[in-house]
Each structure stands twice: as C-alpha cells, then as structure tokens.
Amino acid sequence: MLAVRDQRDKAAFAALFDHYAPRLKGFIMRSGSTAAEAEEIVQDVMLAVWHKAAQFDPHQSQVSGWVYRIARNRQIDIKRKENRPVPEEIKQPETTEADGSQIVALEQEAERLRTAIAGLKPAQREVIEKAYLGELTHQEIQEETGLPLGTIKSRIRLGLEKLRHDLKSMRET
C-alpha cells in the first residue's frame, strides 16, 4: 500500500487488486448485490484506493479497514442513491517522518483483534459478521460486541495525535 501511495507503483497496485478485489466482491455480494453490480462497485472502490492513496495513514489505519470503509461508502451511495456523509479528512502533512513503533504497535493490536474474532463461538461470530455487513439496524445493535476494542482505539488515538502534532509543527515552520 505504501508503494502505491509514495511511488505510485502500478505493480504494487495490481498486487493489492489481486488480494482485495475477490474478497471485496464476495463481501459486497453477501450484502445483497448481484455479481455484476458487485464488479462495478469493486472497480469504483479500487479506483478510489488508487486516487485516495495519499490519504492513507498507517499510523491510524489498517489497509483492510481503510478499504472496508471506502467499500461501505460506495455501496451505500449506490444502493440508497444518496451521498453518504463522511467525516472531514484530516489533511496529511506533505512531509512526515514515519514512526515505525506506532505502525508496528497498531499492526500488533489489529493482529490481537483478528485472533479474538477467530476465537469467537460460531453464534457470536455470526453476530459480528452480520453487524459489519450492515445487516443489523441501529436499534438491533444495542449491546457491546464483546470484542476487545479499547486498546486498539487508544493506539489509533496515538496515531491521530502524531498526525495533529506533525500538522502543527508544519504550520509553525
């Protein structure tokens, strides 16, 4: 992903495509789109990954989570024919030094979350899948999911603080 963002590397993009496009298609079809509709959405999403790459920040995001977010937005825009409201992007500083320890720590937290999801009982897992596929309404999602999200949120928060700090020092220089 970083090769796509920083070097605009098409071979790296093709590799991202080979990994994500089939999963995206499967995912989008599970939430009720036909194969043809799903292909179209996959194309839009992957094109957005290419054009929005500059907004990807590994200090606060994971590639699959970032792709998931773009895919949900696109799917809703098409399904409901309305513009889904998205938060303001935080402007990325032009030059910023990567903080390897933050990136690795976020990766480790994501890994722990993966293990936690894999360790769920089938019934619980199904609830998580339904929730994140958008099959539960906000009235149905009343309970906490039971996933250990606290530590990963604090970690992402540190990534956001770094970004705010970089932006501030950029303005001051």
Q: Is 128 among the residues that bind another protein (CB under 8 A)? A: yes
Size of the chain, expressed as the number of residues it contains:
173
Q: Is 104 among the residues that bind another protein (CB under 8 A)? A: no
Q: Minimal distance in Å, beta carbon 171 to another protein?
A: 16
At residue 89, the 3 state secondary structure works out as coil
**Listed residue (159, 151, 44) closest to 92, CA to CA:** 159
Q: Minimal distance in Å, beta carbon 70 to another protein?
A: 10
Q: Minimal distance in Å, beta carbon 136 to another protein?
A: 6
* CB closer to another protein out of 144 and 172: 144
Q: How many CB atoms lie within 10 A of CB 74?
A: 21
Q: Is 154 among the residues that bind another protein (CB under 8 A)? A: yes
CA 149 – CA 91 distance, rounded (Å): 26
CA 4 – CA 14 distance, rounded (Å): 10
Q: Is 138 among the residues that bind another protein (CB under 8 A)? A: yes
Q: What residues numbered 12-51 form the site for another protein, per CB under 8 A? A: 13-14, 17, 21-27, 29-30, 35, 38-39, 42-43, 46-48, 50-51
At residue 103, the 3 state secondary structure works out as helix
Q: Is 160 among the residues that bind another protein (CB under 8 A)? A: yes
Helices 10-30 and 63-80 meet at what angle, rounded to 10? Answer: 50
- Contact flags string 55-84 toward another protein, x per CB under 8 A: -----xxxxxxxxxx-xxx-xx---x-xxx
